[in-house]
Amino acid sequence: MKAILALEDGRIFKGESFGAPGESFGEVVFNTSMAGYQEILTDPSYKGQIVCMTYPLIGNYGVNSEDVESSKPFAEGLVVKEYSKIASNWRSEGTLGEYLKRNNISGIEGVDTRALTLHIRKAGAMKAVISTVDLDEKGLVNKARASAGLVGIDLVREVTCKKPYEWEKKGKYKVVVLDCGIKYNTLRVLAKNNCKVLVVPARTKAGEILDLKADGVLLSNGPGDPAAVPYVVETVRGLIGKIPIFGICLGQQMLGQAIGGKTFKLKFGHHGGNHPVKDLKTGRVAITVQNHGFCVDMDTLNKKELEITHINLNDKTLEGIRHKRYPLFSVQFHPESAPGPHDSEYLFKEFINLMKKSKSKNF
């Protein structure tokens, strides 16, 4: 079945459909990971986005019921150079194409993904549409232009849990996770580090969280524009100075705004499993997993109160902060990996130590 990817600036990419038929709209971005397409599709941070994989062969090891990072796929569409119709792996339970169709996700193959990636790098991430039902190029471009973008749109409400739930009932440290689009592996790593884990919806108030008598709060990753979720920022503001906090990705953006900073949209974002980040204290460089299109402007932060801990070595943007007085810190990347390198998993140990110190001081 023929398919077309149309960008809002008029660029057209033709290919063949290997996912669900119909039309899908989203901001098209590229991901540089060589594997982990199922984890990428099910990362709630990709809500509202069409993902182009830069690695040319996708789908060769199939899909399974274990490698999911949420209850369902949240990406709007998948763009690949070549889709492998043969899935060969002892853990495989089906093909990627079947998985996309079952979950009503568009997929297009046969696209020159190098050309698309170079175009996005030059022109920036932009609104797009994948269609199998309307092959009128001019009409599709107009549809892409008329579609909703990410700026100013609250996508957190579409991915957060509806009610609180316990992920792990046993553990020395009780952690409340504010779910803005949490990945399952973050919860797994917390549980592995002796944490009792309770996940709460994004609209949970600060007072409600403090009433749970937790040892710490984790602010999760999530999709979309951080400036479009002021209710989360207000919750975070009410927690600062009262409980240890660890923010991841969107969690850093929420924390940054809560302490007076501002966010901005990156030209084409950071998406993939090979982004170099430097720890300014140790000088160590970690290869990190990233998935965000917005960032905290470090020039808007109060350096008397905050320490810049990490920077991105590709574009020198902010990757980590720590408060000088209060027990809180955050990073822009995903230390839980899934998929990707495990270089940064030590940050969960730092969170445990922060809770341990605060607990001993009856903070």
Catalytic choice (8, 76, 109, 336):
336
Catalytic choice (27, 249, 271, 295):
249
Burial per residue of 136-165, b for 16 or more beta-carbon CB atoms within 10 angstroms, e otherwise: eeeebbebbbeeebbeebbbbeebbbeeee
Rounded alpha-carbon distances, angstroms, from residue 82 to 17, 58, 115, 223: 11, 6, 14, 27
Measured CA angle at 312 (ends 37, 332), to 5 deg: 60
Contact 294, 263 (CB under 8 A): yes
The DSSP output letter for 137 is: H
Concatenated DSSP letters of 181-203: S--HHHHHHHHHTTEEEEEEETT
Would residue 310 show up in a list of annotated catalytic residues for this protein?
Answer: no
Which residues contact residue 360 at a Cβ distance below 8 angstroms, ignoring those fewer than 6 apart? none
* Helix (H), strand (E), coil (C) string for 243-256: CCEEEECHHHHHHH
Nearest one of 179, 302, 343 to 251, comparing CA atoms: 179
Contact 275, 30 (CB under 8 A): no
Measured CA angle at 360 (ends 342, 301), to 5 deg: 60
Cβ atoms within 10 Å, residue 121 = 12
Contact 1, 83 (CB under 8 A): no
Would residue 345 show up in a list of annotated catalytic residues for this protein?
Answer: no
Residues annotated as part of the active site: 249, 334, 336
